[in-house]
Structure formats: structure tokens, C-alpha cells
Amino acid sequence: MHNDALYGKEIMSKIIDLATNNALLSGLILAAIIGIVSLLWRKYQDHQDSEAIFNFLIASEAETPHTFRSTEAIAAKTKLTQNRVEELCTKHKKIQRNSKEKQSWKLVE
């Protein structure tokens, strides 16, 4: 077990040495880290914004007799752009676009 830990430390040490002594490799590692963090942040933002839209549609369903809500109404209430609302609504599996009036949405089971 002790040898495994020592071997692991040696490998990490070699990787760190290689990265610090090779500018290209360091740049690639940094670019990969930035790309992963950016992707995770974008996924988090999409989830948060989709949740806001979904919650608005749930509340709206209880408060009004309207089945569909317009992109404009959703955007105004959630403080998102209309393009952002449309983008997220088209991706959400529990939100459906009105087939007759393309800029309105409703919840589906």
C-alpha cells in the first residue's frame, strides 16, 4: 500500500513537471479547464432560467384561465430576453409550443 502511494506521488510529480516545463501542454490543460468550467456554468444558467420559466408557467396556470402564455409575458415576468425564453422553452420536455400561435407556450404532463 505504501508503495502505491509513493508511485502515485511520483506520477503526479512527473505530470506537474511536464506541465510546468511545457508551455504548449500547459496552455492545452488551461484551455480544457476553462472549456469545462464554461460548459458547466452554461448548463447551470440554463437550468436556473428553465426553472424560472417552469415555475412561472405553474403559477400562471393556477392564476389565470389562459392555457398558453406568450413569450413576451414569460420574458417580462422572468426578466429574460424573448430569445432566451424561446430557446429554453423549445428544449424543455414539459413545455410545449402552441402549434397555431408560435410565440406562446404551455405546460404538458
CATH of the domain at 19: 1.10.10.10
Q: What pTM was computed for the model? A: 0.74
Structural contact between residues 93 and 53, judged by C-beta atoms closer than 8 angstroms: no
Residue type, 96: Q
Alpha helix positions (H), the chain: 2-21, 23-63, 71-78, 82-91
Q: How many domains is the chain built from?
A: 1
Domain that holds residue 9: 2-107
pLDDT of residue 2: 60
Sheet (strand 95-97) strand order: 69-70, 104-107, 95-97
Task: Count Cα neighbours of 102 within 13 Å in the Cβ-side half-sphere.
Answer: 4
Tens of pLDDT, residues 48-79: 999 999 999 999 988 888 789 999 999 999 99
